[in-house]
Homo-oligomer: A and B are copies of this chain.
């Protein structure tokens, strides 16, 4: 095998032609990126056990393209196209290939204006302050409820117009981009006649030194006169030897309220990162008071490199009343109300 390169280059196309001249204009840079995550998973729902080769125990498998262009005068344009897929079967979302993110941006000293499909500001805290990052059998998102409101905006919104603050107080910042210094963004999504799609939300946070705290709020129009509302607050503190984090999330729709309180920790030990979480979900209103649930999970990742990790997780949910929260996603076994759902998984995650 030779060592020649498939250099991704713009072609002169002198003979094999282009219909639109636009693709043949100025210099460009495009990054291809993705994650493949496959695991062995065993889940017990009530009395039923199912063993699977599953996806997404540590990170959401994804595939995408993104790029930026320097426009001069401190202005930047950019795009981001990112889709989900399930590497255990090769399946993608048939209708929404770029369903994780599909945006165009204009950024400068004023901040960033971003248009398209993206994560909702009312969601970000739920992921940021979960030691399992809302993925796999320990995901804190499992207990969060849309309360049957029909809102499709809990995690992402179509047709959104968002504004992100520019970097503020980010000197010596060790936090992730967009969660650094004083940070925040607001987003409005057009409903376009689809019930449960019209959205307004915002998030404001402060991450300096060992501290990261943030609040999020959102409201979505539904088919009734009641809006579906989300409020949350998250905080983390990095003690170097370990990191503590907590989240409070409140969903409301009419007389119904659903509260989730989570506490978690991560402990780096060499190439291991131990992770633990405890959560409780508390339903109230319209005869749902008894439908509570508790979740706990422990696990660890083991870094083979910055991009490649092995991992293992054990997750456990006990449901009360008519609650039926289940760990992971099960195509073949359903969970009766008030039962226990638990499972373990170990897998391999590779990012490119």
Contact = CB atoms under 8 A, between A and B. Distances in A.
B307 A25 contact: yes
A2 to B, nearest CB: 8
Given A29-B6, A160-B53, A352-B67, A16 B90 contact: no
A291 interface: no
A66 B23 CA distance: 11
Contacts of A239: none
Interface string A105-145: 11110001001110100001000000000000000000000
Contacts of A46: none
A227 interface: no
A293 interface: no
Nearest to A348: B104
Interface string A309-340: 00000000000000000000001110000000
A21 B1 CA distance: 10
Q: How many monomers of this protein are in the complex?
A: 3
A53 B119 contact: no
A308 to B, nearest CB: 4
Contacts of A15: 68, 76, 78, 107-108, 112
Nearest to A349: B104
A79 interface: yes
A159 B91 CA distance: 11
Contact of A305 (B26, B36, B161): B26
B85 A97 contact: yes
A344 interface: no
A189 interface: yes
Give the size range of A's interface with the partner: 35 or more
Interface in A1-24: 1-24
A103 B89 contact: no
B10 A9 contact: no
A177 B14 CA distance: 8
A71 interface: yes
Given A87-B104, A92-B97, A193-B50, A115 B80 contact: no
A254 B24 CA distance: 42
B10 A158 contact: no
Nearest to A114: B16
Nearest to A107: B15
Interface string A185-211: 000011011100000000000000000
B97 A97 contact: yes
Contact of A26 (B24, B106, B306): B306
Interface of A: 1-38, 40, 50-53, 59, 63, 65-69, 71-72, 75-81, 83, 85, 87-92, 94-108, 112, 115-117, 119, 124, 158-161, 164, 176-178, 189-190, 192-194, 304-308, 331-333, 348-352
Given A36-B103, A90-B98, 4 more contacts: A6-B10, A11-B29, A19-B119, A91-B96
Q: Which 9 A-B pairs have the closest CB atoms?
A: A193-B332, A16-B78, A90-B102, A25-B306, A90-B98, A53-B159, A15-B107, A26-B306, A92-B97
